[in-house]
Amino acid sequence: MTETRSRQLDLQDVELSADLRLPLQADGLVIFVHGSGSGRLSPRNQFVAESLARRGLGSLLFDLLTEPEQRLDNLTGELRFDIDLLARRLVEVIDWVGRDADLRSLRIGLFGASTGAAAALLAAATRADVVHAVVSRGGRTDLAGPALAQVRAPTLQIVGARDPVVLELNERSRHALRCEQRLDVVAGATHLFEEPGTLEEVARLAGDWFETHLQGGRQSAR
């Protein structure tokens, strides 16, 4: 099992807590962007991150919101849908990775869930030169709006067959994207992929996508 290290991300206006998994000779780094009301300790994202580590892919899971912001969001639900705020935070984290001596040579992928998937696509459009792959799990990719047409990173949308609303929205996003892309539907899965074997299928699909587009893997320091 790959060791997980705690990191503090010093951004422009906030400091965010993060967990870093970095296998020896990692072939890439996947930054996780959690969804509505979740955080870096999401058991589903932790499961996928551990699966990626077994493939030699590093992961960075961080809290998009500070503790006071999270308390506010728990009461109102307003910040989880502030896609511009979440995307700005994510872009700052991508830039932070670019300044870190241990990480800056790794090709970056983004794994977004729920509203975090929209933030991931906005960030991919903003940092098109450094984001090399995006995966969405049950994502509200439609909330990325016009930015969908600007995404250059190969994008995989994964949605449950028993999640009809998100499936329809992902279909719309598929038609708006202009990059290499795929929409995979996991049989028997609802929105949170809680059914037996469905999260394992998410991890397999995401791992294959990131291996294809991140491995080969280190790039010159930015």
Alpha-carbon separation of residue 86 from 35, 66, 205 (angstroms): 10, 12, 25
- Residue 21 sits at φ, ψ, to 5 deg, of -110, 125
In a domain, 11, yes or no: yes
Return the percent helix, strand and coil in the chain, to nearest 5. Answer: 40, 25, 35
In a domain, 78, yes or no: yes
Q: What is the Cα–Cα distance from 105 to 98, expressed in whole angstroms?
A: 8
Q: What confidence tens digit (pLDDT) does each residue in 150-171 have?
A: 999 999 999 999 999 999 999 9
More confident residue, 218 or 110: 110
Q: What percent of the chain has pLDDT over 70?
A: 89
**106 Cβ neighbours under 8 A, 6+ residues apart:** 26, 27, 28, 29, 58, 97, 214, 217, 218, 219
Split into its structural domains, the chain has a count of 1
Q: What is the Cα–Cα distance from 116 to 219, expressed in whole angstroms?
A: 26
pLDDT of residue 221: 43
In a domain, 221, yes or no: no
Residue 18 belongs to a domain with what CATH number? 3.40.50.1820
Instruction: Check pLDDT > 80 for residue 219.
Output: no
More confident residue, 76 or 6: 6
The letter for the amino acid at 88 is: R
- pTM across the whole model: 0.91
The torsion defined by the Cα of 189, 185, 19 and 29, in degrees rounded to 10, comes to 160
Q: What confidence tens digit (pLDDT) does each residue in 193-217 have?
A: 999 999 999 999 999 999 999 986 4
Tokens coding 82: 């502030």
pLDDT of residue 13: 81
Q: What is the Cα–Cα distance from 173 to 118, expressed in whole angstroms?
A: 10
In a domain, 219, yes or no: no
**130 Cβ neighbours under 8 A, 6+ residues apart:** 94, 98, 108, 222
Q: What is the mean pLDDT of residues 19-31?
A: 92
In a domain, 222, yes or no: no
Domain of 29 in residue numbering reads as 4-214
Contact, 192 vs 218, CB < 8 A?
Answer: no
In a domain, 150, yes or no: yes
In a domain, 183, yes or no: yes
In a domain, 46, yes or no: yes
